[in-house]
Structure formats: structure tokens, C-alpha cells
Structure 1
Amino acid sequence: MRFQLRRFFLIGLLPMLCSCQSIFFGAMNAGRASTSAITRTYAPDRDLKLDIYRPASSSASTPVALFFYGGSWRYGSRSEYAFVGKALAATGILTMVVDYRTAPQPAFPGFEADAADAVRWARDHASEFGGDVQRLFLVGHSAGAHIVALLATDAHYLAADGLKPRDLAGVVGIAGPYDFLPLTDPKIIEVFGAESEWPVSQPVNFVDGDEPPFLLLHGQGDRIVWPRNSEALEKKLRAAGIAVNYLRYPSLGHFRILAGFRYPRLAPTLRDTAAFINSTPGVAASKSRQ
């Protein structure tokens, strides 16, 4: 009975995320056993940091996940997403929750450059915390899902850090916008600039067969980022011969799918994300099978 009351309470909070973020994230982060994050600076010139959540035990093949949060590319803080880091770490995944610069300073593509730098840092340092750099995954929700999808499809961002999309073991996109033109919201237009530049912001425009495996999760009740975004990216990836699994969650909305990391009975987000990461082979193993 107590769980049911909590469940209904949280569901009632979810639609108010944009206006009552402190309430939502307070609910998501409340009542968890204390798990200390290790904070590191990954881009000293921009004072950008990430928080590292270590699993209780690790091995030579412990996977690593970099999580990028949403917030319309304008809002968010890594501390708000401690519940994601703790949840993934509890499944045996070394997890890094990453801050990045938000618009309007800088606008697109500044946050993509930040994300690429975070990947470079993780490749260089994950082994110090017990992670296998050959099993490096990107995970993102909403705008964060856009960031990781574009990073894994438009190769020039990672190339600036001496990497390529196939250096990633996989990508998990949760309720992400991947094919969202034309832009109509003035605040989103401010993020992506002149209309002539909009096409280079769309992950679907860069799928060419050099991508890592993808897992796409989307609630069919999402009216903030429409499911057609995941449908379009799945179609492009499949046509290019890329391994992709698109899981449709009936009736789920944009924020309840995120809340599934904290309360698995609300959504299977944690289960499906962890299953994909823990079952996907590392980069070296994948190459040896080709």
C-alpha cells in the first residue's frame, strides 16, 4: 500500500518537471543509501566536471557508461542525476554523470565538443576506477540522448579528440530527439542558430554505417519528444546495417521513463539499459568477430 501511494505521488509529479524540478529531483534522489561520487574535472579550461559512481565490485571487463542528462540543451546539473549514477552502478556498471555547457552560452555545437572531450577523458582514465575502456557506452535522456546520438553518428566530433564512433561499444538513447526539424520554439531556435545550420544538428542525417550498436527506448505516450524520432533513427540505422533495438513502452511519457531509473516499477528503463550494456561485447571483441 505504501508503495502504491508513493507511485501515485510520483506519477503526479512527473508532468511538473519543467516548473518544479527541485521537487522531481528531490523525489528521485531521496531515500537512497549513500553512495559517494568521485568528482573529476574533464575539461579544465571550461571547468567541466563529471561524477563517477563505482559498482560494489569490478573486474577486467567492467563496462563504463557516460550519462548525459536532458533539459532542452539549456538546463540541468550532474548532481540532479545522482539517482541514475547510483542505479547503473548497482547493476555492475562504472557510471559517469557528465556536466556540459548549456545554451545560450555556448549554443550548438559547443555541448557536442564537451561530450567528445568527456569521452576522451573516460577513455584515458576509466581503468583507474576499475572500468574496461573497450566497453565504453554512451547513455542519454531527451536532449542528452540527442547529444550522444549525434556524437556516435557525426564522426567529426570524436575525431577532434582522436576517436571514432566505433571506439564506442554502444549507445543508449532514451526519449531522444533525432529528427526534429523544422524548429518552431524560439528557445530551441536560440540553441541551434540559423536555419541554414539546422540540418547538421540532426543525427538521422549522418548515419552511414560506421556507428556502434544502438538501444533506443521511447514511451509511446511521450508528447514532449514524439516517438517518431526514435522510429526515424531506427530506420536509418537498420538500413545502414547497424545493430539497433528499439523498445517501445506503451503509454509511458517523457519523464516517467526517466523515473524508471529510480523506481523500476514505473518503467523498465534501468532493466533494459543495464541488460544492453552488460550483454554487449567490448570494442576489441566486436572487431574480432567481423
Structure 2
Amino acid sequence: MIETQTVVYGYVDGASLLADIARPRTGDRLPLILSVHGGRWYYGTRRDTGAIDVRQWAGFGYVAMSIDYRLVTCTPAPACYQDMLCALRWAHANAGDFGIDAARIFLIGMSAGGHMVSLASTLGEGRFPRSGGWDDYPASFRAAVCVSGAYDLVKLDWGAGWAPAGEPFPHAREYASPIRHVHARAMPQLILHSDDDPSIPIEQVLRMERALADAGAPHRFIRYTDRGHMFITDEVIRHAREFIDNHCETM
């Protein structure tokens, strides 16, 4: 039996931040998988093909959460990133009510969502102020799955969408690039990418993988030749579940 509901995970300037959440009906504390959809920060929703199906993942035995976030068409970056961090804090604050094991929170993001979960893995909260609520709780997590993600906004044509108000354009893109923040204690990442991705060149993914390897940062890279701009496919789900379950076992 799967329980599902829509929750408000934060409030910003009177607006509600929404998420779908599902879990199997059990008294056990379960790992949480938190999904961040794609769409170049411009578009997309918590229920499209750039996000997980929360009922499907609840059927796998997780608490599953898929979030909407403020898009840059209405609120400039880093609002989208601040919202994702707010969702993590919400998960910690409400772990008891939703049967979440707060030590086993995992992120999965596709495209722009992949960028944001990778940035969380390397930079963390950085210099971005907290917004949305739950300020007394951490935004910590165990590991991240990055699907067709972006790692160097400076070298990305649609990186121009990351334009915080009042901040020099090049500096903002540099600071928001995961590749600029790689270090040995970064959170573990599973990176899935294809050579023929038309949205995010494989070249920057290879540079990110080399930076992670050189720093000794925990990661796994699964490289394809012919998958294009990958979404949350059955193949992605299989690798993500294996990665997540391995990290649950090694705690």
C-alpha cells in the first residue's frame, strides 16, 4: 500500500513551494530519494520525465519526494538552488512525521537538476542565504545521482540563465559551477552522461570526472555513447538504485 500526498515544503514571499511525496505504509524509517527536475532552470515540473515517479520509488521501498522550485523566468537564480536546499531542511525537520531516516537522504537530479545536486555535493550551501523556512535544520544528505548534469556553467551556452541580480555575470556562473568546488570530502556522486548529449557537451563531464578523481572525491561515472540527453529511464533507475543501496549498506 502506497501513501501519497502533496506537501508545502517552504514559503517564499507568500508563495508556497510544492512537492509530491510517497511512501510505503510501514512503520520503518526509510531512505529518502529527493528528485530535482530538469529544464535549464527555465521550465519543467515535479511530475515530468525529468523527475522520478514518486509512487514507483515508494514501491521500491523508499520515501520518495519530487519538488517544484522557482524558475528563473519568475525569480532569478540562485532561487532554484535555495529551494532545493530548503527541501532538504524540510526533510530533516519532518523526518519523524514521514518515516524518513535522516541519515539516508539521497538526491537525484536530471539536466539542470543534475547541476544543482552536483553543486550541493561539492559546494553545499555556500554563500547563498537560507530561504523558505526550516532554518534550524541541516541541508545534509548522503549522496547524489547526477543525470545529464551540467558542471561548468561558464562553458555552457544556456549557463546564461544563471544570472543573480546585482552580481557580475561571469563570477556568478563560476561560483555556481560544481567543477570549481571539487574537494576530497565532497559527497559521493553517481554521474550518468552520454557522448552525444546535445544540451551538455561530454567534454565538461570528462573534466568534472578528472577533477573528482584527482581530488580523491568519491564518485562513479557511467558513460554512454548513444543515449542523447538522458531522462529518468529504467536504465537510469537501475543504476541509481544500485548506487543508493550500496551507500545505504556502507554507512
TM-score bucket of the superposed structures, by smaller chain: 0.7 to 0.9
Q: 2:20 pairs with 24, 38, 51, which one?
A: 51
Equivalent position of 2:247 in the other structure? 280
What is the number of residues matched between the two proteins? 239
Q: Using a 3 Å threshold, how does the CA distance of structure 1 residues 196 and 169 change in structure 2: closer, same or farther?
A: closer
> How do 1:200-239 and structure 2 match up within 5 A?
200-239=175-214
Bigger fraction of residues in strand: 2
Equivalent position of 1:73 in the other structure? 41
- Does structure 1 residue 195 correspond to structure 2 residue 162? no
Deviation of 1:87 after TM superposition, in Å, equals 2.8
Deviation of 1:179 after TM superposition, in Å, equals 1.6
3-state SS, counterpart of residue 63 of structure 1: strand
3-state SS, counterpart of residue 66 of structure 2: strand
Q: Is the 8 A contact 1:67 1:139 kept in 2?
A: yes
- Does structure 1 residue 153 correspond to structure 2 residue 122? yes
Equivalent position of 2:99 in the other structure? 130
Equivalent position of 1:111 in the other structure? 80
CA distance in 2 between counterparts of 1:169 and 1:203 reads 17
Q: 1:181 pairs with 147, 154, 163, which one?
A: 154
Q: Using a 3 Å threshold, how does the CA distance of structure 1 residues 174 and 83 change in structure 2: closer, same or farther?
A: closer
Q: Using a 3 Å threshold, how does the CA distance of structure 1 residues 222 and 58 change in structure 2: closer, same or farther?
A: farther
CA distance in 2 between counterparts of 1:253 and 1:35 reads 33
Q: Is the 8 A contact 1:58 1:92 kept in 2?
A: no
- Unaligned regions of 5+ residues in structure 1, if any? 1-33
Equivalent position of 2:60 in the other structure? 91
Q: Is the 8 A contact 2:89 2:138 kept in 1?
A: no
Q: Is the 8 A contact 1:57 1:92 kept in 2?
A: no
- Does structure 1 residue 63 correspond to structure 2 residue 34? no
3-state SS, counterpart of residue 78 of structure 1: coil
Equivalent position of 2:227 in the other structure? 252
CA distance in 2 between counterparts of 1:201 and 1:180 reads 7
Give the structure-1-normalised TM-score.
0.74
CA distance in 2 between counterparts of 1:163 and 1:210 reads 21
CA distance in 1 between counterparts of 2:6 and 2:57 reads 17
CA distance in 1 between counterparts of 2:161 and 2:223 reads 31
CA distance in 2 between counterparts of 1:49 and 1:111 reads 13
Equivalent position of 2:238 in the other structure? 271
